[in-house]
Amino acid sequence: MNTIESTLSHPTSTTPASAISVCDLSHWFATAEGTPLQVLDQINLEIPVHSIAAILGSSGCGKSTLLNIISGLMTPNQGRIAINGIYNDHSGPSPHVSYMFQEDRLLPWRTAQHNVEFSLEAGSLSRQSRQEQACEALALVGLAGFADAFPYQLSGGMRSRVALARSLVQNPSILLMDEPFSRLDALTRAQMHEELLRIQQLKQMTIVFVTHDVEEAVVLADQVTVLAPRPGRIRSTLAIPLERPRDATSTTSSQYIKELKSLI
Ligand SMILES: Nc1ncnc2c1ncn2[C@@H]1O[C@H](COP(=O)(O)OP(=O)(O)O)[C@@H](O)[C@H]1O
Ligand SMILES: [Mg+2]
């Protein structure tokens, strides 16, 4: 193939209005029996810059696998991902993207401050800059007074805030979150939703979060993509053009919740 043909059939960039473009993505895992287990099938998804997108689906339908692939931690068997208009070259996670995992993954022997600094240790920042940025990130999530606390001294909500600070300290333009608040009680989860919306506005980030909680998707997201299981494929993407803050019990929210529940 000559260079022009090659460029046409394998473009290196896409529309920058999308923070994330997922193009014809399919993925399967090897199994002990030898038959590949297909987990994702022909996923196409555009996530606009500065928006909040939810990926909603039942357990096992491929949500975490999709997020792992978008983050660059996993390479798909088929298809491509563009981040801010540039296709991933599979050389690893993009520097623009932070990933907040389902478990908080805090290091128990490190204070909140040192857990947040951990995210910066691979870079070239001086120790003082790392300390300053970690302090700022902890203040951003409302934990300025808890820098010296160890994880065992913190409540579930506070641990979530430390994990969020650790994701934010690198100043990502895109934040991926895998069911980040699923272990919290309802009240604490609602507080974390408010915090997240405040920080997203302040930092003008794009957020993609995975959830199996329909109410959470409607309260937070600008668009909700419903995945159908075995193999995971997109059943529908629904825009939620409601003003914020949203109340999951309002009539309009309830209509979206009902519609999404019928799609799952
Ligand atoms: N590394 C892996 N090897 C083999 N199977 C996997 C692996 N990771 C996930 N799976 C399988 O892929 C399917 C989707 O998993 P996952 O993406 O974690 O779903 P979800 O996050 O929606 O619960 C499940 O059946 C799971 O058992
Ligand atoms: Mg999962």
Return the pLDDT at 95. 82
Whether residue 226 has pLDDT greater than 50: yes
95 lines ligand 1 (CB under 6 A): no
Within 10 angstroms of residue 129's Cβ, the number of other Cβ atoms is 12
Residues 83 and 191 grouped into a single domain: yes
Q: Is residue 7 part of a domain?
A: no
Task: Give the C-alpha separation, 26 to 61, whole Å.
Answer: 13
Residue 28 clears pLDDT 60, i.e. is over it: yes
pLDDT digits (tens, 9 = 90+) for 243-261: 999 999 999 999 999 999 9
Q: How many Å apart are CA 216 and CA 221, to the nearest integer?
A: 8
Whether 152 maps to a domain, the answer reads: yes
User: Does one domain contain both 232 and 188?
Assistant: yes
The ligand minimizing its distance to the Cα of 61 is 1
Whether residues 181 and 264 share a domain: the answer is yes
Vertex 176, ends 261 and 105: CA angle to 5°?
105
Same domain, 144 and 259: no
Question: Does the residue 59 lie in any domain?
Answer: yes
Q: Which ligand is nearest to the CA of 58?
A: 1
Q: Which domain holds residue 257?
A: 15-96+175-264
- Quick one: average pLDDT of 73-95? 87
* Cα-Cα end-to-end distance for the chain: 44
In a domain, 9, yes or no: no
**Cβ(147)–Cβ(111) under 8 Å?**
yes
Tell which of 138, 171, 204 closes a domain.
Answer: 171
64 Cβ inside 6 Å of ligand 1? yes
Q: What percentage of the chain reaches a pLDDT higher than 70? A: 94
How many angstroms is it from 138 CA to the middle of ligand 2? 27
pLDDT of 13: 58
Which of 65, 101, 176, 226 maximizes ligand 1 atoms within 8 Å of its Cβ, making it the mutation to test the pocket? 65
List of residues 6+ apart from 208 with CB closer than 8 A: 20, 47, 52, 53, 54, 55, 67, 70, 174, 175, 176, 177
The fraction of the chain above a pLDDT of 90, given in percent, is 83
Are 167 and 222 in the same domain? no
Atom of ligand 1 lying closest to residue 227 CA: 22
What pLDDT is recorded for position 103? 92
Average pLDDT, the chain: 92
The answer to whether the CB of 68 is under 6 A from ligand 1 is no
**SS3 (DSSP) at 229:** coil
The residue out of 151, 171, 191 marking a domain boundary is: 171
Q: Are residues 143 and 35 in the same domain?
A: no
On whether both 66 and 132 belong to a single domain, the answer is no
- Spatial distance between the Cα atoms of 19 and 112, rounded to a whole number of angstroms: 30
| Of 169, 118, 115, nearest in space to 139 by CA | 169
Q: How many domains does the chain have?
A: 2
- Indicate whether 101 belongs to any domain: no
Residue 77 C-alpha to ligand 1 middle, in angstroms?
A: 14
Phi, psi (5° rounding) for residue 181?
-115, 15
User: Nearest bound ligand to CA 27?
Assistant: 1
Q: Quick one: average pLDDT of 173-186? A: 94
Q: Which of 39, 67, 176 to mutate to test the pocket of ligand 1 (most atoms within 8 A of CB)?
A: 39
Domain assignment present for residue 8? The answer is no
Report how far ligand 1's centroid is from the alpha carbon of 174 (Å).
23
pLDDT at 6: 40
Residue 38 pLDDT exceeds 50:
yes
CA distance 155 to 192: 13
Assess whether 180 and 261 both reside in one domain. yes
Query: E strands within 152-263?
Result: 174-178, 206-211, 223-228, 233-239
Ligand 1 pocket residue status of 196, Cβ below 6 Å: no
Q: Looking at ligand 1, which atom is closest to the CA of residue 59?
A: 23
- Ligand index nearest the alpha carbon of residue 56: 1
CATH of the domain at 212: 3.40.50.300
The predicted pLDDT at position 89 comes to 75
User: Do 160 and 184 lie in a common domain?
Assistant: no
Mean of pLDDT values over 121-127: 88
Decide whether any atom of ligand 1 lies within 6 Å of the 57 Cβ. yes
Listed in sequence order, the residues at least 6 apart from 58 whose beta carbon sits closer than 8 Å to its beta carbon are 212, 229, 264
Q: pLDDT tens digit string along 40-59?
A: 999 999 999 999 999 999 99
123 falls within a domain: yes
Res. 225 pLDDT band, cuts 50 70 90: very high
Q: Does 264 share its domain with 185?
A: yes
From 213, 256, 219, 216, select the one nearest 238 (Cα to Cα): 256
69 C-alpha to ligand 1 centroid (Å): 12
Q: Do 256 and 134 have their domain in common?
A: no
Write down which residue in 171, 190, 222 finishes a domain.
171
Q: In this predicted structure, what is the pLDDT of residue 92? A: 74
- Note whether 133 and 155 are same-domain residues: yes
**Residue 143 DSSP SS3:** coil
Q: Which atom of ligand 1 is nearest to the CA of 179?
A: 21
Does residue 46 lie within any of the structural domains? Answer: yes
Write out pLDDT tens, residues 136-153. Answer: 999 999 999 999 999 999
Is the shortest distance between the CB of 16 and ligand 1 below 6 Å?
A: no
